[in-house]
Structure 1
């Protein structure tokens, strides 16, 4: 028999991770770990906690073990089919909201939506926004749809299964386009380390130089942006200069990169003045 305090002391995990897993198993709030720490726990709960702790020690991400991750103040369901939302990606949401701040009923396109975290966070902050969220993974879109249904009072997100912009109606004109595409190079050793080992490879890397998805988005975005509107992309810590060069070469103006809270150039974007004509 064990109480919460003893179980946490005996756990080999960092205490923060152990507390998160125990709260998940027990359905307790953080304060209950303090006020009920001497309460004898059901053996079934102890066994479940120990099983999850063992999986975490083997490297599985906390978000997959708890099936949840907080992002932009919302709790998103997470499965092994989707990329786990990262705090640094909140910058992309902030940039999108800034871009549409003075636009009533804006249309926003999120490419590579995964959990739907970016699209749903924008829609939650701007109830008048119309969102289109794209992913090539049907399994990811199932997760995103469920998150939208649970987190939005009024679901204003249209989900599309597509390889980037391939299946998007070309008559749509978006006020901003955002994307957190796979940008890790295929030979990056980080793919074999930590949480990344358990996340969908296609959401992490293009199996090339890490820029192929970014190139594709920059090439096609002008066909879908309304006049004088913006594209924002998240990218790797060492890719900002490359992305700015790609944007400039495609005809974007006001091209710039923005640093995240760690001081890393995390997102780059620019404005396309006139909507490009698609040649069929």
Structure 2
């Protein structure tokens, strides 16, 4: 891409894909295409249309910078500033966890029954809360996060998807700044054990906030905190849904059961792995 002779978009993409492949990037052709679209300021679906054309100098320079950063494993989402989740684009940065496809299992489980007031613990980018409010136009929501930067990102995404009038974002350490009752409480907390962190990809380990990835211990402390405090904020008949790592279902279900929640279940994701734990506060229990 640094040749004096201008490259066509197709040639530049091929060179970028080869470079990313050599760097060990998992899906080099896809990334090369997405980054070219971003450099050229067009939709990725239109890249084929410009393939025969020579790249303008400014586009080629932007593309070179993007590919260079991707080659050292900066995530694509951070380079283009957004990530798709449940059919919507969310603004992201290095201050929040990237929305992931497996979290859509939590969304599906939450939408399986009606709700009017939803609380999102550790809201991060706000993708869970904003999605639920966008899908349920009459619902109101509160999202909390320990990180001020995450709260700002979640607020921006609420505005982006036009749910800000029904969405309150606050800085809070779990339940510390929360009042009232909710008929749905959701969370995708940090659940990676400290000893597992070294096994993460460079993209995750070096570019996503560790505060959102691990509790610094066994990966279960956040679920203990949620289970111990959730009863005071769940309305009778209310549900709590948390995303888990695929080996944590039995432990987290046990926390929920010990906390007095009923109808506790472990729900799978589309790959059949344990992904969500559900608990219900019945009207007559003592949670």
| Structure 2 unaligned blocks of 5 or more | 1-5, 21-27
Determine helix, strand or coil for the equivalent of 1:216. helix
> For residues 85-130 of structure 1, what are the alpha-carbon distances to aligned partners after superposition, in whole Å with 9 as ceiling and x for unaligned?
001101111111123x2x5xx1000000011000000010011000
Output aligned runs, 1:104-253, within 5 Å: 106-152=116-162, 155-169=165-179, 172-190=180-198, 192-197=200-205, 198-253=207-262
Q: Which residue of 2 aligns with 1:80?
A: 94
Counterpart CA distance in 1 for 2:212 and 2:285 is: 28
Which consecutive residues of structure 1, in runs of 5 or more, have no partner in the other structure? none
CA RMSD of aligned residues (A): 1.6
1:256 aligns with 2:270: no
Give the TM-score, by structure 1 length: 0.93
In structure 2, the CA distance between the partners of 1:20 and 1:240, relative to structure 1 (3 Å rule), is: same
Partner of 1:62: 76
> Per the alignment, do residues 276 and 199 of structure 1 end up closer, same or farther by CA in structure 2, a change over 3 Å counting?
farther
Alignment of 1:24-43 (within 5 A): 24-43=38-57
The CA deviation at 1:134 is 0.6
Aligned partner of residue 155 in structure 1, secondary structure: helix
Worse-matched range after superposition: 41-50 or 124-133:
41-50
2:24 matched to which residue of 1?
none
Q: How many Å separate the matches in 1 of 2:279 and 2:49?
A: 51
Deviations 1:215-246 (Å, cap 9, x if unpaired)? 10111000000012111110111000111111
CA deviation after TM superposition for structure 1 residue 252, in Å:
1.0
Instruction: Name the CA shift for 1:174/1:31 in 2 (closer, same or farther; >3 Å).
Output: closer
